[in-house]
Structure 1
Amino acid sequence: MKRKKTSSSKQQTVTATCSHLPDECWEIIFRLIINDDDNSNKCGILNPLSLVSKQFLSVTDRLRLTLRVYGDEELHRISERFTNLNSIVLAIFCIDSDELLRKISRFQWKQLRSLSLSDRPSIPTNGLRAFSQKITTLTSLNFSQIPSLSSSDLFLIAECFPLLEELNLSHSTNCKNYTSYVDGVEALSLALIKLRKVNLSSFPINNQSLFHLFNNCKYLEDVIIFECDEITRAGLASAIRERPTLRSLSFSTSDLNEEHRQLFATSHFIDSLVSLKGLTCLVFNYLNISDELLYSIAREDLPLTRLDLPFCTNYSYNGILCLLSKCRRIQHLNLQCAVFLNDQNVVQLSSILGDLVSINLSVCMELTESALFALVKNCPSLSEIKMERIGRLSDIVGNSDSLGKLCVYPQLKSLYLGDNSWLSDKILIMVASSFPNLLLLDLESCNHISEGICQVLRKCCKIRHLNLADCSRVKLLGMNFVPNLEVLNLSYTEVDDEILYLISKNCSGLLQLHLDDCSGVTKKGLECVRKNCRQLREHGCIIPSSHMQQL
């Protein structure tokens, strides 16, 4: 009884002390927690905090900046609670988007800056017009994945949202009549005088439209144009000349046939590219480039911090070494499918990449896990590594002395090792011992791992995101308490109700659980997860198709 009294007394003292702190202090504290969070999952942090007290609920409500709207039933209550919202996302399955936009506009959130209407059949024209008349602060608009987007819709955007700084129209039409969109794109480029960032991937844009965009948008800094058939190297080069202030360029064509790819390394194109003296981000996907292009970038010493060349061809190790030796500010590097790379090359590159934060060396078939350890040893800021489908096993694994000499590298937070058939439990445990602070581990299609994953979870107790999809031999029966796990993918595995029961007891903080094509799962197992994992978001638990009828 004395212990209970003491405990209760302490609890009351703490509560009383906390209650005297003003909301402003708690808001500062919560903001620090959010900013320090490596996973950037604000909802995952705010949700449990909001349950502590009414005061904490009030503070966390003010910190919520993004809201996903499913219907209009509780819009009034939402507007009173979340007063600092700056971004609204309309859910895909909203029945009447026009009416919902009208109702949202009535609340006149003064700080609203962003609106997302992606993944729907068409643009809600009437609702947008009403929305724009009431809310004039919008600077970001997302219309991606809208198959019926027309040229008249572009004129509507230009008319209603002249203050836009960011516009996403990617994958937003099935139309192949590129000339019918020229006038619409020109209208956008003339109206959106503040436009800084645009995503037109898989959009019917041609050389003429691209020229209008680059010529008229004086503040344009960031352009993403993946899979655009009608843009040629000459057209892209001419457009670049019109916008020398461009800081980020991401480009690819949709022709993935290596034999038919045009060479994006002519002298005219290279001269245009290196004229971008402020270029910090360059992303070329599936392009036919050359060492001469890389040498030219190196000679100009462009201030690149991001270089992505996934599946690019016709360049060599000498070219990439020259560029990275000169441009030493690189923080993000993607050399996916650079078939010439070997372990020795990676050791040499890692020694000159002191600022590296993330790297992708997937599908580099000559690499081994020796390259992985060279990177973390030589790059102290490296937090993300992708080495999926790399070549083979090195001698380091079979050498017990080498295993004993492996160090701990606390900086690594995300590791992607999917589709590596050589990855065994022994190697996996070794990796886990070296990277205790992992937050994300992706092992998709690693078919030789089994019980070892349980030891990994014990050694890497901070893991939040674990992907075991298509790991046919994985065993989770020895799983212990994993409090931080938020996303778990067990699709295409032998998971059954017994394992689901274990997961529900040990992973109560789950936000998403993927169970595609898991034939061993029944309604009983799913109900167990739903009962014990109360934070699972709506539709976060993906139900196996074979059991849809049961639920």
Structure 2
Amino acid sequence: MGRNSELLTMAEQPPWEDLPSLCWEAVLRSLRSNADLQSFSSVCKRFLDISNAFRTSLSIPNRLTPCLGSLLSRRFTYIKSIDLSSFRGNPSSVLLQIAQFPLPLEHLDLSNQESLRFDGLREIGSKFGALRVLVLSKIGLLADDELVSIADYFPLLEELDISYPRLSWVTDDCISVLSQKLQRLSRIDVSGNLSLSDQSLVVLSVNCLCLREIVFRLCSLITGRGIASLIKRRPHLVSLALTGMKMDRIFYEELVDSFGYAESLSSLDFSGPFIWDGLLMSVAEANIPLERLNLSDASGWFSFNGIRKIMLKHRGIKILDLKKVDFLADGNMSVICRDLRSLNSVNFTHCFNLTTTTLYNLMRHCPFLKQIIMEWTNLRMDDGNETDMVVNSQVRSLSIAGNVNLTDDCLMKIGGMCPNLWYLDVGVCLKITGDGISGVLKSCPEIKHLETHYLENLGNLCIDFELPQLECLQAEGLKLSDKQLAAFISRCCHLKRLNLQECVHLSTKGVEKVVKNCKALREINLRGCHRVRDDVPFLDWMVSVRPSLRRIVPPHRFVSSKIQDFFLQRGCLVCHYYDFKKLEAKPIEQQCSLY
């Protein structure tokens, strides 16, 4: 009997129970999203303990503060990064609470606060003096003396962000003191501090010997002469952004000459300023390892010749942003595509003269290309030679929204060229019908995020195959019926995020079917769906039927704090509005890591 009992116990024990934790940690490293990690942690207590070690960042909204102590003491004991940018009120009490726990804290974000009280920061500094990154962006009131005190609390800071203050500006004198106190500073962002001048660049370049990156967007008193001095004194800068500058501030020959001193610049951002071919030529001639170039929204006296010179010399460019460089044409791109074999990401949004010819050239000549953004260009069927079409299996993200002449046939051919897509945005492509969407999903079975917002002709949408990889559907403004939506959703067994904002033809009945069928659903946006109930009993039913839900935006009801608290206790945030952020706003490296 004893032997039989032992055999029975062994049979009932899951076969994976004996695997060591190191094996499970290797499994967790291969997961593609935080949602997958949460699903893993809910299996059993052992998996929860293992997964906790992989949670290194924590965002703290107001609703989380009552249980913060319990979370930091029992679950999130490996937190390296804390984000309080969405917290409203006085964050000092939260900081005092955080300081009670022995966390390996390295990164603290206090952006968007009206003001900072220093008892909490002082305590954080005494406990986490080795903090490396401090973000104080968009602070309401941050005076010079307060910022100097913060430097005393965190003398080992390597990165400091004091960008875009709302009611007060940091002065040159303050930057001078900071540069002396923060000897390890390698990156500083002072964008939007309108009183800073060239003097700040000088003291930073002289005192901060480790300085590798300085961001000073919309600092109207900084001139090209000051930037030139910075480059000459700190030739090992890796990143430089000259955005928001006017002609009389940037047009200096010293700036052109200074690029000859640069040795390490890998990222150049000339978006928005007045630039000219002479400046681009000096970049082309510089001996720098340029990998990222941004000329979006640039104005001035520059031409394709200046861009072409840079492409010829710096063939290692991986990220290229030419948004709104409106003189670009297919002929230009056919010339430079052959020089961009290292390209990972490209943005040609609002380059209205570019057609499928350019898209075909990118696919053919750029074998490492992962992200293509050609929104509001001129993609259409009658451009481009089909003999130039090749399959590029590396492309993961394709954003072609706003191409109003794009047809179903053209979309399906583009989909056939990049069969391993993870992200596709065809929003506001007004000629696309259900046949085009069905066809591209067949060609690209790996799609995880689909943006189809404001397509007007999906009446013939019919999906008769499974979509097991689709996790996020952006269907804002579609004229879908309950029956169409239910049929589509029935094919998406792993759908987690669903945006149905302003889908005015949907009713409560259709949403009920979605909630019942989407067993992995975590977020749903119903804002503007006026035929859908949004009373508390219906919201309660949704959370009860689908306990995986973590966020609901109801159709139009004002959500009181009492109702929010009620649902938050059940693990779901019911809020007025939620932006399903578009992935192309993120760097391509972050995009790919999301899945």
Return the TM-score normalized by structure 2: 0.79
Between stretches 68-77 and 412-421, larger displacement belongs to 68-77
Instruction: Give the secondary structure class of the aligned counterpart of 1:286.
Output: coil
* Equivalent in 354, 358, 373 of residue 360 of structure 2: 373
Instruction: Give the secondary structure class of the aligned counterpart of 1:198.
Output: strand
Instruction: Give the secondary structure class of the aligned counterpart of 1:415.
Output: strand
How big is the shift at 1:205?
Answer: 4.6
| CA distance, structure 2, for counterparts of residue 224 and residue 455 of structure 1 | 44
In the comparison of the two structures, how many residue pairs are matched? 520
Between stretches 301-310 and 457-466, larger displacement belongs to 457-466
Instruction: Give the secondary structure class of the aligned counterpart of 2:82.
Output: strand
Letter in 2 for 1:492: G
| CA distance, structure 2, for counterparts of residue 149 and residue 95 of structure 1 | 16
Structure 2 residue 233 is matched with structure 1 residue 242: yes
Structure 2 residue 445 is matched with structure 1 residue 434: no
| CA distance, structure 2, for counterparts of residue 349 and residue 292 of structure 1 | 19
| CA distance, structure 2, for counterparts of residue 171 and residue 525 of structure 1 | 45
| CA distance, structure 2, for counterparts of residue 486 and residue 203 of structure 1 | 41
Q: Which residue number in structure 1 is paired with residue 455 of structure 2?
A: 471
How big is the shift at 1:501?
Answer: 4.0
Instruction: Give the secondary structure class of the aligned counterpart of 2:94.
Output: helix
Between stretches 267-276 and 232-241, larger displacement belongs to 232-241
Structure 2 residue 273 is matched with structure 1 residue 274: no
How big is the shift at 1:221?
Answer: 0.7
| CA distance, structure 2, for counterparts of residue 279 and residue 61 of structure 1 | 38
| CA distance, structure 2, for counterparts of residue 77 and residue 411 of structure 1 | 40
Question: Are the structure 2 counterparts of residues 416 and 71 from structure 1 closer, same or farther at C-alpha, using a change threshold of 3 Å?
Answer: same
Letter in 2 for 1:374: N
How big is the shift at 1:530?
Answer: 5.1
Q: Which residue number in structure 1 is paired with residue 22 of structure 2?
A: 24
Q: Which residue number in structure 2 is paired with residue 196 of structure 1?
A: 186
Letter in 2 for 1:457: L
Question: Are the structure 2 counterparts of residues 232 and 499 from structure 1 closer, same or farther at C-alpha, using a change threshold of 3 Å?
Answer: farther
CA contact (8 A) 1:370 1:394 kept: no
CA contact (8 A) 2:107 2:133 kept: yes
CA contact (8 A) 2:471 2:494 kept: yes
Question: Are the structure 2 counterparts of residues 80 and 472 from structure 1 closer, same or farther at C-alpha, using a change threshold of 3 Å?
Answer: same
Q: Output the aligned Cα RMSD.
A: 3.0
Q: Which residue number in structure 2 is paired with residue 352 of structure 1?
A: 339
Matches within 5 A, 1:198-217: 198-207=188-197, 208-217=199-208
Matches within 5 A, 1:264-343: 264=250, 266-313=252-299, 314-343=301-330
Q: Structure 2: where are the runs of 5+ without partners?
A: 1-7, 531-554, 560-595
How big is the shift at 1:233?
Answer: 1.9
| CA distance, structure 1, for counterparts of residue 153 and residue 508 of structure 2 | 49
| CA distance, structure 2, for counterparts of residue 537 and residue 216 of structure 1 | 49
* Equivalent in 56, 60, 84 of residue 90 of structure 1: 84
- Listed one character per residue, the Cα deviations across residues 55-111 of structure 1 (whole Å, up to 9, x for unaligned) are 3332222112112223131432443223322111226145552211111110120x2
- Listed one character per residue, the Cα deviations across residues 138-182 of structure 1 (whole Å, up to 9, x for unaligned) are 11112223333333432232122111111222223244xx5x623
How big is the shift at 1:454?
Answer: 2.7
| CA distance, structure 1, for counterparts of residue 193 and residue 26 of structure 2 | 43
Question: Are the structure 2 counterparts of residues 412 and 212 from structure 1 closer, same or farther at C-alpha, using a change threshold of 3 Å?
Answer: same
CA contact (8 A) 1:477 1:502 kept: no
Instruction: Give the secondary structure class of the aligned counterpart of 1:249.
Output: strand
* Equivalent in 493, 501, 513 of residue 498 of structure 2: 513
Q: Which residue number in structure 1 is paired with residue 549 of structure 2?
A: none
Q: Which residue number in structure 2 is paired with residue 5 of structure 1?
A: none
How big is the shift at 1:360?
Answer: 1.2
Q: Which residue number in structure 2 is paired with residue 112 of structure 1?
A: 105
Letter in 2 for 1:28: A
Q: Which residue number in structure 2 is paired with residue 145 of structure 1?
A: 138
* Equivalent in 66, 73, 76 of residue 70 of structure 2: 76
How big is the shift at 1:304?
Answer: 0.5
Q: Which residue number in structure 1 is paired with residue 121 of structure 2?
A: 128
| CA distance, structure 2, for counterparts of residue 161 and residue 527 of structure 1 | 52
Q: Which residue number in structure 2 is paired with residue 155 of structure 1?
A: 148
Question: Are the structure 2 counterparts of residues 321 and 148 from structure 1 closer, same or farther at C-alpha, using a change threshold of 3 Å?
Answer: same
| CA distance, structure 1, for counterparts of residue 219 and residue 458 of structure 2 | 41
Structure 2 residue 172 is matched with structure 1 residue 182: yes
Instruction: Give the secondary structure class of the aligned counterpart of 1:15.
Output: coil
Q: Structure 1: where are the runs of 5+ without partners?
A: 1-8, 256-260
Structure 2 residue 539 is matched with structure 1 residue 549: no
Question: Are the structure 2 counterparts of residues 162 and 366 from structure 1 closer, same or farther at C-alpha, using a change threshold of 3 Å?
Answer: same
| CA distance, structure 2, for counterparts of residue 51 and residue 435 of structure 1 | 36
Matches within 5 A, 1:41-56: 41=33, 43-56=34-47
Between stretches 445-454 and 512-521, larger displacement belongs to 512-521
Q: Which residue number in structure 2 is paired with residue 490 of structure 1?
A: 475
Instruction: Give the secondary structure class of the aligned counterpart of 2:339.
Output: coil
How big is the shift at 1:383?
Answer: 0.5
| CA distance, structure 2, for counterparts of residue 234 and residue 376 of structure 1 | 41
| CA distance, structure 1, for counterparts of residue 507 and residue 175 of structure 2 | 51
Question: Are the structure 2 counterparts of residues 213 and 343 from structure 1 closer, same or farther at C-alpha, using a change threshold of 3 Å?
Answer: same
Letter in 2 for 1:71: T
Instruction: Give the secondary structure class of the aligned counterpart of 1:167.
Output: strand
Q: Which residue number in structure 2 is paired with residue 443 of structure 1?
A: 426
How big is the shift at 1:375?
Answer: 0.8
- Listed one character per residue, the Cα deviations across residues 221-254 of structure 1 (whole Å, up to 9, x for unaligned) are 1222222222222232233333222111122116
| CA distance, structure 1, for counterparts of residue 202 and residue 208 of structure 2 | 10
| CA distance, structure 1, for counterparts of residue 359 and residue 51 of structure 2 | 40
How big is the shift at 1:550?
Answer: 7.5
CA contact (8 A) 1:465 1:488 kept: yes
How big is the shift at 1:351?
Answer: 1.1
Question: Are the structure 2 counterparts of residues 528 and 147 from structure 1 closer, same or farther at C-alpha, using a change threshold of 3 Å?
Answer: farther
Q: Which residue number in structure 2 is paired with residue 424 of structure 1?
A: 407
How big is the shift at 1:213?
Answer: 2.6
CA contact (8 A) 2:371 2:396 kept: yes
| CA distance, structure 2, for counterparts of residue 525 and residue 218 of structure 1 | 62
- Listed one character per residue, the Cα deviations across residues 183-224 of structure 1 (whole Å, up to 9, x for unaligned) are 332232222211112222223352133333333221111222
